[in-house]
Structure 1
Amino acid sequence: MSATINKVCVIGAGTMGAGIAAQVANAGVPVLLLDIVPKDGGNRNAIAEGAVAGMLKTDPAPFMSTRAAKLVETGNIEDHLGKIAECDWVIEAVIERLDIKQALYARIEEVKRPGTAVSSNTSTIPLAHLVEGRSDAFKRDFLITHFFNPPRYMRLLEIVAGPDSDPAVVDKVQAFADVAMGKTVVRAKDTPGFIANRIGTLWIQLGINEAMDRGLTVEEADAVAGKPMGVPKTGIFGLVDLVGIDLMPHLKASLTGTLAKDDPYQAIARDIPLIEKMIADGYTGRKGKGGFYRVNREKGKQLEAIDLASGAYRPKAKVTGVSGAAAKGDLRALVETKGKLGDYAWALMSGTLAYAASLVPDAADDVVAIDDAMRLGYNWKAGPFEMIDKLGAQYFAERLSAEGKPVPALLTLAGDRAFYRVENGKRQFLGRDGEYHDIVRPEGVLRLADFKLSAKPLLKNASAALWDVGDGVACLEFTGKMNALDGEVMKLIGQAIPLVAQGYKAMIVYNDADSFSAGANLGLAIFAVNIAAWSEIEKLVAGGQMAYKALKYAPFPVVSAPAGMAIGGGCEILLNSDAVQAHAELYTGLVECGVGLIPGWGGCGEMLDRARNAPGMPKGPMPAVAKVFETISTATVSKSAQQAKELMFLRPEDGITMNRDRLLHDAKRKALSLVEGYKPPEPPTFRLPGESGHTGLNMAAEGFHKRGMATDYDMVVSDALATVLSGGDADTVDIVTEADLLTLERQNFMRLVRDKRTVARIEQMLETGKPLRN
């Protein structure tokens, strides 16, 4: 049996199967995508080929780079099934019909190698039924791998092993899915709906039922069952619109047909005439003509919501909802809110959390698996047991009992204890034996939050902190809102460098947040502008330049480890690092032109240095300058870490980590690999095109202006950028130093920040999050 997975086959090129194939390709692994031969003849590979072509046009994109698509080999089941012999893992993602799946497995068994894993992406058919009639050898290689849609962006993978599954085969698949595909794997039991969909389907059904029974509007229900509960702002009805209303009857039929008759879901499952009519009329959600919400284009794109009683659409109402602590995530305050909104919150939460508590050990071995599944599969901020801890397990049990509702055994076992606690610097969970057990991370999984349980920061202020993460490595963390960068961050960098130089080998720049940094704190900037504190603004720009160059030329390696958004100043810190270990989902770029500014913390010079040394870049002063001008002036942001390499925000040798939970570990390893013989880089010098280059860049921008692709003020901003990138008054024979470019950056930044049109752009960005085209 192969201990590694070098090639994968996915059978079924529908939305899910094609998405799984794309994620395998994103991992850099060849994948064979097969589907049936079309009935109309012609191209026998048309279905699989069409799926790949469609994904290249889809937004959000299933592929992290167009290069990944080249790793997908397409074919059909009739002609190419024999190629399964080349594969180490076969994933079946065909229609949810047992007879079709079983017939396919019979054919797979004839051609696969012993030890090649075979898995089904089913979420409705028990594993025992799937392998019925197959050989013992096939059963040893079989498991269920339940991905969530879209496979690139949803981190959860539920794995179900059968009683005959070879643990080595299951472990091989799990390791590949974890490290290569970036999945957080949760082991589930072979029960209907597994974990996430079983709880999630009950939550949705209960949410719809209770809203209709209690006379709530869809807006009121979603205002409660959204941010206040720590679940996505779509709430219940918005979520159903997103995933498709027509999916609801299928989920209901699947669970009612397979769950035990006394399962709590059976008592709430009901046919809803309104939903049946909506589906019949094509109102299946966002993919249809609308759903519980719709955009009425005949009325000027008016947002509308459906009336749950009459089925008629009306203008979407603004709902006050809950307030105070309840609106800010205090679950006890939420369920104790007087009136129908508080009653709805309690009915929904009590039913859902009690159900989740009843599923240990039926659906999962412990509370951690349940919580992980709901956080990752449904994007809840806290899992069910973490939510019970917020309510108080004893409070929750007593209130259930007072209402005559069953109290799950696990709640009774907990008593007045929490399901999670921190003991001796370790996070622990309450087991079914009534004892607490350490939460053990898989090898290679490291989180800054774990260090914080038992350590104090080496340095800390209002916007940043420095931590010891072991092995002689320090970690610089941003801590402000959206990890925005300000003078406090720069101050702490200045304090950190001598401290790290004295007692540590290397430093990494990392945080556990969803986004690395949203760049400079625009709120502080606009405040300073409004009081004409120009010297303070220039001081912040100069301080940022000084701090970033101090990092670049520190006597130890600096490795940045970004995930999510890293824009503006967040991108510039990557550019000034010795190396980057990025999460695959990295959205980075120099976006300052969008708010009427230019990069001010060294981004222009660093991009020029990369561009002129990029493979294939023509020689001479102008090609690299033109390329950087195009990238920065259009505020281009990468849609993945791989694309960030193509845009030169990352170097070719920078690392990419697929699993977010492994990013800190990988960054630390990269930093340590640079320690031996480390020497800071030499400051670069440039020969730039000067006035002639400046004119050429402005002419290119004018072409966009004439075609209506650039506004009048875009021309002013791009002129300032062109001034910097061309070297100002320099001539091609002059040497332009890094310090010269920093001065040009600072001067032109200050010229723009004083312009009222830049102020208007910043204000709109702060108010709406959208750029102003002035």
Structure 2
Amino acid sequence: MRKEIRRAAVLGAGVMGSGIAAHLANAGIPVLMLDIVPPKFTDDDAKMGLTETDPRFRNKFALGGLDGIKKSKPAALYSKRFLPLIEVGNFEDDWAKLAECDWIVEVVVERLDIKQKVFARLEEVRKPGAIVSSNTSGLSIKGMTEGRSDDFNKHFLVTHFFNPVRYMKLLELVAGEETSSEILDFFTSFGRFRLGKGIVFGKDTPNFVGNRIGVYGIVSTLRHMMEMDYQVDEVDAITGPAMGHPGSATFGTSDLVGIDVMAHVINTIAEGCPDDEELDLFTVPDFVKAMIADGALGRKTKDKGGFTGIRKNPDGSKTTLVIDWKIGERREKTSYKYPSLGKAKKTHDVRKRIKDLVEADDRAGAFAWALLRDTLAYTSRRVGEISDTLVDIDNALKWGFNWALGPFETWDALGVATALERMKAAGVEPAPWVDEMLAAGHESFYIESAEGRQIYDPTTKAYVKEPKPDSFMVLLQIKMDEKKIVFGNQSASLVDIGDGIACIEFHSTLQPKLNPVDEYITEVMTKGVEIAERDFRGLVIHHQGENFCAGANLLMILEAVQANQWALLDEMIQVFQGLTTGLRKASVPVITAPFGFTFGGGCEITMGGDRVCAAAESYIGLVEVGVGVIPAGGGCLFMLERVLEGVDEPILSQIPFIRIAFENIGMAKVATSGEEARDRKFLRPFDKVEVNRDQQLWTAKRMAMAMADEGYQPPLPKTYNLPGKEGLATLEMMLFNMKLTHWSSSYDEKVATHLGRILTGGDTTINEPVSEQAILDLEREAFLSLCGEPMTQDRIKYMLVNNKPLRN
């Protein structure tokens, strides 16, 4: 019988418990979130009109978790539509409801005795075959399940999520000695394809995989900082993006997680790993103990801060402070300008960036090498203890700590033999299997090929194929067969991805993180559609970089304006409009597959396809007003198409529908998930949201194949009955009120008036159908007019310099 999880329960409504409950709701699974009944009825409870039997009192902690979900920033839910899927209750009144659940995950306090009691109670009501898991970060499975039945243990495993649950890709699965292989296989598939997680298999050791190496990195950083005489802000300048790590770096991340939590996981390893060869390193430094004693725990203690903090000045400005670990007092943050860090900021290729940094002859290079050297060696010694595969360890650090490269991928980037020689010269010894690998003539941990990636296996002393589902298509590997690259340039390529489907891939060399639309992307898209119509049966627009497309190339637009090249700018707009609207005019189906930042022109490309396959973590919006212009690549047309769907005849007032488009564009609203993009009409009801980005290309390809198999025909052109000047007058009244209440500036009003004229159809009436081309012409006219305005030019310049909008 096919196993399903139709209803789940979360035991514990704290930060992690509520996060897991929210993400189960994101997956469309009804979830019961329980917590304990408050131990004491307080005067405050009485003042609120509660009684000890009132569900609002008895469910107080669970309701607090639900309130946290509602208020969470960034949002824990993909859409508020999913909130009704979460039911709350308490451990006493609602325990029997657990018998209805197919999966029950425990997220109570990290104490073995409490978890044992919870599981003993749970076995009394759990139905046979229901999966039970713990979100523990270090307690042993054997200890937690002592005394439980065979069926309970057979269906028990650790499901270790990372916080925030929605956004952190990592899910560590740890099976016990009695866990059924069928249950582990089922949950692996469920975690990947229903929850969208990256699965790492760990062993039943303290802190499992990610935290074991990640925490070593923290304690090693602390030791090197003190021994080499560095400061907190100096270290964070080195251990952030320059080393392929998040911008919060070491101490900013610790502040985010909580310094008390950091100390706890350090102590967990110290207590649970007595045979670790670097056991003495897992000690919380005295200055950190003093911070915890003083209540300086990081971001959650705003007044006292943590390693870093904010001081509000009398003039309203803010000053960033950092702890001086030598004296235990805070001082103003210093900016460190080492040559290697300056070079790192200009280096897009993370492999080259890290290699250049650790080879640099300055303080940043010295610290980076010492830290990386010790971390790589320590990680090599953990293979077999915490995980059997190098790729699981690498993925744990990438998915759980947002490293750009895992430890072994980083070592490959440095050159395994070269780095090993430097390590040994410093008296650092990695695991013996690394020497054996090199001695056998194997020069790297990974080998990339068109057939897939291979990983060195220290047990068999040979390379094995990376285990991954067939649906996880990798463009980099596909393109290793050069015959698959049909056409391309420095910013984009047309790639044959098999089964008669081609993919237009963006890969800007100048701005690879954002992939703004430039003449090279335009060239490949134009040529790509032409080739697809001739040689393929479907087309996908997708790539596997950091962000889909953050809009137009603003610098190119500004340069054209400053050079008075209005005819060129007009031509560029017409070409781009023809490109986005032409996607649906092609004789083959076009599926757009966005993810990450999908702004402006990227949003217009997305909406121009026949169908959209958006990643769950897609941030989609028409944000052009932020730089003083309006969407001119079909964005206004596509929004009208969506909000007026089904309104095929003139009606008394279309303003309520048009207002949705007007607010989306005029207020630069950005959907913060694929599902919210559906709520805001950027996606349509029949568009797909894919929860696992690794599977997105495969899903989009199948969508194109299905449309082709059905006998694709391009949609017919549409006309729209729009209210013209009468409708614009209504929008202008709304704009006047916004300016009066200081929601917008006079120039915002001017930009939005241009937008209103487009969305209401220009010089028309409700009974005169407006063509798609007429709306495109209005877009182009407004865009060019606004580009000629000095205040728009100021907004564009400010955005280019400061990467944020100017309100003028």
TM value normalised by structure 2? 0.93
Q: Cα distance, 1:405 vs. partner?
A: 2.6
Q: Tell whether 2:555 aligns with 1:523.
A: yes
Q: Partner residue of 2:670?
A: 637
The one-letter code of the counterpart of 1:745 is E
Q: Partner residue of 1:692?
A: 726
Q: Distance in 2 between matches of 1:756 and 1:489?
A: 29
The one of 675, 681, 698 aligned to 2:715 = 681
Q: Distance in 2 between matches of 1:54 and 1:233?
A: 26
Q: Distance in 2 between matches of 1:424 and 1:34?
A: 49
Q: Partner residue of 1:369?
A: 392
Q: Distance in 1 between matches of 2:90 and 2:132?
A: 18
The one of 463, 466, 469 aligned to 2:491 = 463
Q: Partner residue of 2:48?
A: none
1:326-725 → structure 2 map (5 Å cutoff):
328=347, 329-415=352-438, 417-423=443-449, 425-432=451-458, 433-455=460-482, 456-480=484-508, 481=511, 482-613=514-645, 620-675=653-708, 676-725=710-759
Q: Partner residue of 2:38?
A: 38
Which secondary structure does the structure 1 equivalent of 2:295 belong to? Answer: coil
Q: Cα distance, 1:163 vs. partner?
A: 1.5
Q: Partner residue of 1:739?
A: 773
Which secondary structure does the structure 2 equivalent of 1:160 belong to? Answer: strand
Report the number of matched residues. Answer: 773
Contact 1:326–1:332 at 8 Å: present in 2 too?
no
Q: Cα distance, 1:337 vs. partner?
A: 2.5
Q: Cα distance, 1:260 vs. partner?
A: 2.8
1:511 and 1:619, CA in 2 relative to 1: closer, same or farther beyond 3 A?
farther
Q: Partner residue of 1:22?
A: 22
Contact 2:450–2:479 at 8 Å: present in 1 too?
no
Q: Partner residue of 2:202?
A: 188
Q: Cα distance, 1:616 vs. partner?
A: 13
Contact 2:338–2:363 at 8 Å: present in 1 too?
no
Which secondary structure does the structure 1 equivalent of 2:382 belong to? Answer: coil
Q: Distance in 2 between matches of 1:297 and 1:448?
A: 48
The CA deviation string for residues 276-310 of structure 1, in whole angstroms up to 9 with x for no partner, is: 22222222112212122211113631112221211
Q: Distance in 2 between matches of 1:524 and 1:717?
A: 21
Q: Partner residue of 2:285?
A: 272
Q: Distance in 2 between matches of 1:701 and 1:614?
A: 28
Q: Distance in 2 between matches of 1:700 and 1:128?
A: 65
Q: Cα distance, 1:541 vs. partner?
A: 0.7
Q: Distance in 2 between matches of 1:614 and 1:567?
A: 26
Q: Partner residue of 1:61?
A: 75
- Consecutive unaligned residues of structure 2, counting only runs of 5 or more, are 42-51
The CA deviation string for residues 187-237 of structure 1, in whole angstroms up to 9 with x for no partner, is: 111111111000000101110121122111222211221222111122211
Q: Distance in 2 between matches of 1:126 and 1:193?
A: 10
Range with greater deviation from structure 2 (622-631 or 565-574): 622-631
The one-letter code of the counterpart of 2:492 is A
- Consecutive unaligned residues of structure 1, counting only runs of 5 or more, are none
Contact 2:449–2:477 at 8 Å: present in 1 too?
no
The one of 284, 296, 299 aligned to 1:283 = 296
Q: Distance in 2 between matches of 1:101 and 1:712?
A: 60
Q: Cα distance, 1:440 vs. partner?
A: 3.1
Contact 1:224–1:321 at 8 Å: present in 2 too?
no
Q: Partner residue of 1:84?
A: 98
Q: Cα distance, 1:498 vs. partner?
A: 2.1
The one of 251, 255, 261 aligned to 1:237 = 251
Q: Distance in 2 between matches of 1:106 and 1:348?
A: 44
1:424 and 1:71, CA in 2 relative to 1: closer, same or farther beyond 3 A?
closer
Q: Partner residue of 1:224?
A: 238
The one of 168, 189, 195 aligned to 1:154 = 168
Q: Cα distance, 1:385 vs. partner?
A: 0.3
1:559 and 1:339, CA in 2 relative to 1: closer, same or farther beyond 3 A?
closer
Q: Distance in 1 between matches of 2:446 and 2:390?
A: 9
Which secondary structure does the structure 2 equivalent of 1:78 belong to? Answer: coil
Q: Partner residue of 2:4?
A: 4
Range with greater deviation from structure 2 (459-468 or 294-303): 294-303
Contact 2:270–2:283 at 8 Å: present in 1 too?
no
The CA deviation string for residues 144-195 of structure 1, in whole angstroms up to 9 with x for no partner, is: 0100000000000000001210111122222111111110111111111111
Q: Distance in 2 between matches of 1:692 and 1:545?
A: 27
The one-letter code of the counterpart of 2:28 is G
The CA deviation string for residues 669-714 of structure 1, in whole angstroms up to 9 with x for no partner, is: 1111111221101111011111111111111111100000010100
The one-letter code of the counterpart of 2:331 is R
Q: Partner residue of 2:327?
A: 310
Q: Partner residue of 2:45?
A: none
The one of 101, 105, 115 aligned to 2:129 = 115
Contact 1:156–1:183 at 8 Å: present in 2 too?
yes
Contact 1:428–1:439 at 8 Å: present in 2 too?
yes
Contact 2:380–2:430 at 8 Å: present in 1 too?
no
Q: Cα distance, 1:109 vs. partner?
A: 1.0
Contact 2:37–2:58 at 8 Å: present in 1 too?
yes
The CA deviation string for residues 85-127 of structure 1, in whole angstroms up to 9 with x for no partner, is: 2111110000001111011111111111221110000011011
The one-letter code of the counterpart of 1:103 is K
Q: Distance in 1 between matches of 2:539 and 2:189?
A: 29
Q: Cα distance, 1:311 vs. partner?
A: 1.8
Q: Cα distance, 1:129 vs. partner?
A: 1.0
Q: Distance in 2 between matches of 1:470 and 1:620?
A: 48
1:51 and 1:335, CA in 2 relative to 1: closer, same or farther beyond 3 A?
same
Contact 2:321–2:332 at 8 Å: present in 1 too?
yes
Q: Cα distance, 1:501 vs. partner?
A: 1.0
Q: Distance in 2 between matches of 1:322 and 1:167?
A: 53
Q: Cα distance, 1:585 vs. partner?
A: 1.0
1:614 and 1:32, CA in 2 relative to 1: closer, same or farther beyond 3 A?
farther
TM value normalised by structure 1? 0.97
Q: Distance in 1 between matches of 2:661 and 2:537?
A: 34
Contact 1:160–1:188 at 8 Å: present in 2 too?
yes
Q: Partner residue of 2:46?
A: none
Contact 1:326–1:337 at 8 Å: present in 2 too?
no
Range with greater deviation from structure 2 (117-126 or 488-497): 488-497
The CA deviation string for residues 388-447 of structure 1, in whole angstroms up to 9 with x for no partner, is: 111221122222222333231231122161001124543211111221112132132222
Q: Cα distance, 1:322 vs. partner?
A: 4.3
Q: Tell whether 2:319 aligns with 1:293.
A: no
Q: Distance in 1 between matches of 2:785 and 2:219?
A: 57
Q: Cα distance, 1:603 vs. partner?
A: 1.2
The one of 783, 791, 796 aligned to 1:749 = 783
1:331 and 1:724, CA in 2 relative to 1: closer, same or farther beyond 3 A?
closer
1:304 and 1:426, CA in 2 relative to 1: closer, same or farther beyond 3 A?
same
Q: Distance in 2 between matches of 1:609 and 1:705?
A: 28
Contact 1:14–1:51 at 8 Å: present in 2 too?
yes
